[in-house]
Amino acid sequence: MAMPHPRIVVLASYMHAFTIKTPHAPRDGETVIGSEADVGPGGKGSNQAIAAARLGAAVQALGCVGRDAFGDAAVGLWRAEGIDIRAVAQADDVTTGLAVIILDDAGQNRIVVYPGANDRLTPEMVDAAAEAIRSADVLVAQLETRRDPVRHALALARRHGVRTILNPAPARPLDETVLGNVDVLTPNETEAATLTGLPVDVTDEASCARAAAWLCGHGVRHVVMTLGAQGAYRYDAATAGGKRIPAVRVPVVDTTGAGDAFTGALAVGLGRGQSFDEAIALANRAGAFCVTRLGVVPGLGTPAELAALG
């Protein structure tokens, strides 16, 4: 039976990414020699939009890039992926967002981002895309843009009964004017700790539950915490109960973008009407496939690629 094609609007932050693989991250004053390099598209919102589109969603991007070579690359990529770009602006006086990623031999990353044109997204631009948001099944947002348009988009979607997903990265404190309009929050353990001020250990389910309960106490309806090789932890505010969904075991090449692949796939599963456990299982497979590739976009899998994980 054919799967439904959910309508998803993504606040599509874009960063052109420069990745260098090194034996270890440089210490203060140290220069290290890289063994591999990759230059290409990135940005959490862009990654999430592509992940959802490759899994069959009808995706509309809402964002801003520069009128430069990197911005042209973003627009061209989204068109090639079948993403609706009518709500994407190109700014003349600011560069497209940039990211520098240092990747060590264990596949762990350290990332610096310059938001650039992403900071030009405004609440007024969100309002201009109001009809697309009203007719969506899911709105997906992250924190690589300014908080005002994120807050505005979440509130607009909530008013119209559209499910909202917020990936709170890069992590920063959020108040209830944001959290209170989030149906599903998808932090990793570090982001959950930053948001709550509580310690979170991926191997300690009780610590995950405490942080998730805190977030739900501040307005979030569901927390789906990504825990890397430990899978994901789901907590429901209505039942005050949680459970861990196991990860798919794969060889790790590059962890960059795994959370974005997860969030994009979760949006697709929930947009199709799948249960949380079914949607998280799909998202776990998407995150697992992503870490088997160098660079994010090559790691955003199709249904066939995710099914082939075994």
Q: Would you put residue 65 in left (φ > 0), alpha (ψ -120 to 50) or beta? A: beta
For the question of residue 260 being annotated catalytic, the response is yes
The token pair that represents 206 in the structure block: 């009780």
CA–CA dist 152, 164 (Å, integer): 12
Helix, strand, or coil here: 88? strand
Q: Which regions of the chain does DSSP assign to beta strands (E)?
A: 7-11, 15-21, 36-42, 58-66, 84-91, 97-103, 109-114, 138-142, 163-167, 184-185, 222-226, 232-236, 241-245
Closest CA to 160 of 129, 188, 190, 191: 129
Closest CA to 12 of 52, 49, 55: 49
Measured CA to CA in angstroms, residue 189 lies from 55, 145, 194, 231 at distances of 26, 21, 9, 11
CA–CA dist 121, 203 (Å, integer): 38
Options 38, 84, 183, 260, the catalytic residue: 260
The answer to whether residues 219 and 195 touch, using CB atoms and an 8 Å cutoff, is: no
Q: Which active-site residues does the annotation give?
A: 260
